[in-house]
Amino acid sequence: MMAGAVQGLLKRIMPQLVILAAALLLNFIVFPDFFHVDFRNGRLFGNIIDVLNRGAPTALLCIGMTLVIATRGIDLSVGAVMAIAGATAASLVVDGHGWFTALIGALATGAICGFWNGILVAVLRIQPIVATLVLMVAGRGVAQLITEGTILTFLNPGLIRLGAGTILGIPTAIVIWICLGAFVAFAVRRTALGMLIESIGINEASSRLAGINSRVLLVCVYLVSGLCAALAGVIVAADIKGADANNAGLWLELDAILAVVIGGNSLLGGRFSIVASLIGALIIQSVNSVILLSGMPPEFNLVIKAILILGILVIQSPKVSYIWYMLRASGPQPQPDRKTPRPHRATEEKTQ
Amino acid sequence: MIRSTHLPLIVTLVTFVLAFALCGSQYPSILSTRVVANLLTDNAFLGIVAVGMTFVILSGGIDLSVGSVIAFTGVLLAVILRDTSMHPLTAFALALVITTAFGAAMGATIHYLEMPPFIVTLAGMFLARGAAYVLSTDSVPIDHAFYDTLQGIYWKAAGGGRFRLIGGLMVVTFIVGAVVAHRTRFGQNVYALGGGAQTAKLMGVPLAQTTIGIYAISGGLAGLAGIVFSLYTSAGYSLATVGVELDAIAAVVIGGTLLSGGYGFVAGTFFGILIMGLIQTYIVFDGTLSSWWTKIVIGMLLFAFILLQKGLTWATTVRKRRATGSAALS
């Protein structure tokens, strides 16, 4: 049972792993010391650690984004929520509260933002792009309201440790995103939650008829996305020791969506894999790192990302997969992929 | 008799008149022609882009690439005028051809690969912004006699207001856009597509042609907006106009166009632009409010108009259900 699940997961994330390996290999080619990891001043040092560390905000965002996209939605507001949460944490710390209060406060604001999005989508039935656009437009204004138009800087060691500190030599940000990712992936796969979310994404009306409380579930999904964004916002703020309402999390929502798409999750909802999305986030960060290490001007970053998206779009497109299917079917000897044993497929059908 | 499809437009108009009257009662000088002329000049590029966005949203799509295309056009023009001896008019034509082709390519991708417009135009946004970066990361000043001539053209109204060329260009774009949307076959096809792709196909609407045309128009108008923006700022900068696509979408929605497509008016978008400009003008006049209030107020307006649209759609479904007497599910 467990072995089958692991095998299934491996099969699912294989394309992403291959791309990640290729990206890492490119890194290695342009910078042979890439995989070198040191232990200095009680902390792990190395380029690969940097990739994991710098990828933390995107990775955190894409955990929530995967769930939202699986319900056939999208959350454009995560970047703005990051700014709001970072501003909340910074202003609480500046007012003399402890780092823990600040963290809870930031998470609570993130939850409120997510709840607002969820209500708009699930209760008022507004299309997700539009519903989250409202907060995306207004959110940075709200964050400015909290910081009163300045970049709030702070020196609270507890809060800074969240972004720049270490746990057992590993940077805290890495520990946070890996733990949260593992927890959420486990929670949705070991319970029926994941299946219920997928069923909403595939056909909401019929899943409601089947007795799924889609409203509550939708609100929860956006709530989780808000919480993840808040956590990412706190980490970014702690990293630069200040809350910048204008630039914190700017365009990160697009990176998060890109990570989810690279993770092979369809934007049309349905089956999802959080692990694959997380690998997608790492791929993005590795590509960034290749561009930096190779000394290519960072201007090319966006062009490369665009080409990456276009390539994935072509692969994912229903039309192309149909043509591919027809080509294979009309071949001289139809040889479907039978490397995987037949019984495995039979059990898969049974579980569906 | 007011039809429910006209209601959002009327609400937009009433909002604008009320807001203008309110501002005017507080600061009488807002009513001068200078402020009105500046309202048109300052929002010219946004207005031109919003016309294209109206077409895209009417068809049920979305175009996230326009902000980047404006920046790209600006940088392209600046670099051409700096490095070559090409006449600005030729450069304008070249920029328009490139951006229109770019939009058409996105439309073709959306139609033939059957991908959501959201993600395709997102890729386009990265591509255009990246291309702008590759051309130049610095702000390139434009110093050309022809630019000075164009900037010097204005009509001075009574009261000292200067209606400049770019403001006039925006108004012309809106008029042409309105005629195309409401008086041509292409415009009807756009509305049909927004009503539902399947139905439009059965009605005989050429889907490929219409989709590609819509995004080509949006791309081309973004290029025109880029030209206007370069005239407005006399420079090309690859980091300029970040987030303009959101302002354009907000203007279209505030103008009463349904985001699900199929309903709306180009004229509504014009008033949407004016309302957004008015908020900014009010904040400048007030002097104590910070500029980020603009964002919050626009967000609230956006929310209010979306709620209004929802209410209307809901009312229509209820009426239809009552009329047909069918007990539909959920």
Torsion sign across C-alpha atoms A220, A66, A55, A82? negative
* Residue of chain A nearest B60, judged by CA positions: A127
The answer to whether B254 faces chain A, any CB pair under 8 Å, is: no
pLDDT level of residue A338 (50, 70, 90 thresholds): low
Q: Check pLDDT > 60 for residue A343.
A: no
* Residue of chain A nearest B132, judged by CA positions: A299
Q: Do A300 and B134 touch (CB under 8 A)?
A: yes
The predicted pLDDT at position A16 comes to: 82
- Annotated domain spans of chain A: 22-296
Long-range contacts of A183-188 (CB under 8 A, 24+ apart): A184/A63, A184/A67, A184/A224, A184/A274, A185/A274, A185/A275, A188/A67, A188/A274
* Residue of chain A nearest B309, judged by CA positions: A126
The predicted pLDDT at position B180 comes to: 93
Q: Do A310 and B123 touch (CB under 8 A)?
A: yes
Q: Check pLDDT > 60 for residue B328.
A: no
Q: Check pLDDT > 80 for residue A73.
A: yes
Residues 6 or more apart whose Cβ sits within 8 Å of residue B166: B41, B44, B45, B228, B231, B232
Residue A87 vs residue A2, higher pLDDT: A87
Interface test with A, best of B53, B295, B307, B310 (most A CBs within 10 A): B295
Torsion sign across C-alpha atoms A201, A205, A209, A214? positive
* Residue of chain A nearest B297, judged by CA positions: A138
The predicted pLDDT at position B221 comes to: 95
Residue B166 vs residue A334, higher pLDDT: B166
| CA distance, residue A263 to nearest chain B CA (Å) | 15
The answer to whether A208 faces chain B, any CB pair under 8 Å, is: yes
Q: How far apart (Å, rounded) are the C-alpha atoms in residues A67 and B166?
A: 45
H or E, element range at B232: helix B207-233
Q: Which residues 142-201 of B have a C-beta within 8 angstroms of A?
A: none
A131-165 pLDDT per residue, tens:
888 888 788 888 888 888 788 888 888 888 887 77
Q: Does domain A22-296 have CATH number 1.20.81?
A: no
pLDDT level of residue A45 (50, 70, 90 thresholds): confident
A55-65 pLDDT per residue, tens:
899 999 999 99
CB atoms within 10 A of CB B244: 23
The predicted pLDDT at position A333 comes to: 56
Interface test with A, best of B119, B257, B276, B291 (most A CBs within 10 A): B119
Q: Check pLDDT > 90 for residue B119.
A: no
Please list every residue in chain A whose beta carbon sits closer than 8 Å to the beta carbon of residue B307.
124
Grouping H, G, I as helix, E, B as strand and the rest as coil, residue B136 is: coil
| CA distance, residue B302 to nearest chain A CA (Å) | 7
| CA distance, residue B33 to nearest chain A CA (Å) | 30
Q: How far apart (Å, rounded) are the C-alpha atoms in residues B55 and A214?
A: 33
Residue B136 vs residue B329, higher pLDDT: B136
Q: Check pLDDT > 70 for residue A348.
A: no
Q: How far apart (Å, rounded) are the C-alpha atoms in residues A217 and A220?
A: 5
B5-51 pLDDT per residue, tens:
677 788 888 888 988 888 888 888 888 888 888 888 889 999 999 99
The answer to whether A130 faces chain B, any CB pair under 8 Å, is: yes
Q: Residue A235: exposed, middle, or buried by beta-carbon count in 10 A (0-12, 13-18, 19+)? A: buried
Q: Check pLDDT > 80 for residue B91.
A: yes
- Residue (of A314, A54, A32, A97) closest to B108 by Cα position: A314
Q: Do B124 and A135 touch (CB under 8 A)?
A: no
A39, β-bridge pairs: A44
Domains of chain B: 7-322 (1.10.3470)
Residue A302 vs residue A203, higher pLDDT: A203
Q: Where are the alpha helices (DSSP H) in B27-87?
A: 33-42, 44-58, 66-83
Please list every residue in chain A whose beta carbon sits closer than 8 Å to the beta carbon of residue B260.
127
The predicted pLDDT at position A336 comes to: 54
Q: Do A141 and B260 touch (CB under 8 A)?
A: no
The answer to whether B115 faces chain A, any CB pair under 8 Å, is: yes
Of A141, A302, A310, the CB nearest to B296: A141
Q: Do A134 and B302 touch (CB under 8 A)?
A: yes
Residues in chain B, how many?
330
Q: Check pLDDT > 90 for residue B308.
A: no
* Residue of chain A nearest B302, judged by CA positions: A134
Q: Helix B292-324 and helix B7-26: axis angle, to 10°?
A: 150
A16-43 pLDDT per residue, tens:
888 888 888 888 888 888 787 877 777 7
- Residue (of A241, A297, A259, A221) closest to A56 by Cα position: A259
A220-271 pLDDT per residue, tens:
999 999 999 999 999 999 988 888 877 777 778 888 988 898 888 887 888 8
Q: What's the predicted TM-score (pTM) here? A: 0.81
- Written as six digits, the tokens of B106 are 């996105």
Rg (CA), chain A: 21
Q: Check pLDDT > 60 for residue B161.
A: yes
End-to-end alpha carbon distance in chain B: 32
A113-122, A142-151, B89-98, B226-235, range with the lowest pLDDT: A142-151
Q: Do B115 and A305 touch (CB under 8 A)?
A: no
Q: Check pLDDT > 60 for residue A344.
A: no
> Distance of CA A284 to CAs A52, A66, B5, B238, Å?
11, 16, 45, 22
Residue B243 vs residue A236, higher pLDDT: A236
B244-272 pLDDT per residue, tens:
888 898 899 888 888 778 888 899 999 99
The predicted pLDDT at position B46 comes to: 93
The predicted pLDDT at position A339 comes to: 52
Q: Do B116 and A131 touch (CB under 8 A)?
A: no
Q: Which residues 15-34 of B have a C-beta within 8 angstroms of A?
A: none
Q: Which residues 272-311 of B have a C-beta within 8 angstroms of A?
A: 290, 292-296, 298-300, 302-303, 306-307, 310
Q: Do B330 and A208 touch (CB under 8 A)?
A: yes
The answer to whether A195 faces chain B, any CB pair under 8 Å, is: no
DSSP letter string over B81-114? HHHS---HHHHHHHHHHHHHHHHHHHHHHHHHTT
- Written as six digits, the tokens of A72 are 């056939």
Q: Check pLDDT > 70 for residue B326.
A: no
> Distance of CA A80 to CAs A93, A228, B43, B295, Å?
20, 12, 25, 12
The predicted pLDDT at position B8 comes to: 78
The predicted pLDDT at position B75 comes to: 93
The predicted pLDDT at position B325 comes to: 61
The predicted pLDDT at position A351 comes to: 42
Q: Please report, rounded to a whole number, the percentage of residues in chain B having pLDDT higher than 70.
A: 97
- Residue (of A20, A21, A65) closest to A265 by Cα position: A65
Interface test with B, best of A77, A125, A137 (most B CBs within 10 A): A137
End-to-end alpha carbon distance in chain A: 15
Q: Check pLDDT > 90 for residue B292.
A: no
H or E, element range at B236: strand B235-236
The predicted pLDDT at position A107 comes to: 95
The predicted pLDDT at position A337 comes to: 55
Of A126, A205, A261, the CB nearest to B310: A126
A94-103, A321-330, B54-63, B95-104, range with the lowest pLDDT: A321-330
Of A140, A257, A303, the CB nearest to B130: A303
Read off the DSSP letter of residue B139: P
Phi, psi of A308 (to 5 degrees): -60, -50
The predicted pLDDT at position B216 comes to: 96
> Distance of CA A352 to CAs A1, A218, A315, Å?
15, 22, 25
A126-135, A311-320, B226-235, range with the lowest pLDDT: A311-320
What is the Cβ-side half-sphere exposure of residue A67, based on CA atoms within 13 angstroms?
28
Write out chain A in H/E/C secondary structure: CHHHHHHHHHHHHHHHHHHHHHHHHHHHHHCCCCCCEEEECCEEEEHHHHHHHHCHHHHHHHHHHHHHHHCCCCCCCHHHHHHHHHHHHHHHHHCCCCHHHHHHHHHHHHHHHHHHHHHHHHCCCCCHHHHHHHHHHHHHHHHHHHHCCCCEECCCHHHHHHHHCEECCEEHHHHHHHHHHHHHHHHHHHCCHHHHHHHHHHCHHHHHHCCCCHHHHHHHHHHHHHHHHHHHHHHHHHHHCEECCCCCCCCHHHHHHHHHHHCCCCCCCCCCCHHHHHHHHHHHHHHHHHHHHCCCCCCHHHHHHHHHHHHHHHHHCHHHHHHHHHHHHCCCCCCCCCCCCHHHHHHHHHHC
Q: Check pLDDT > 70 for residue B330.
A: no
Q: Please report, rounded to a whole number, the percentage of residues in chain A having pLDDT higher than 70.
A: 93
Question: Can you tell me which residue has the tokens 């229509």?
Answer: B316
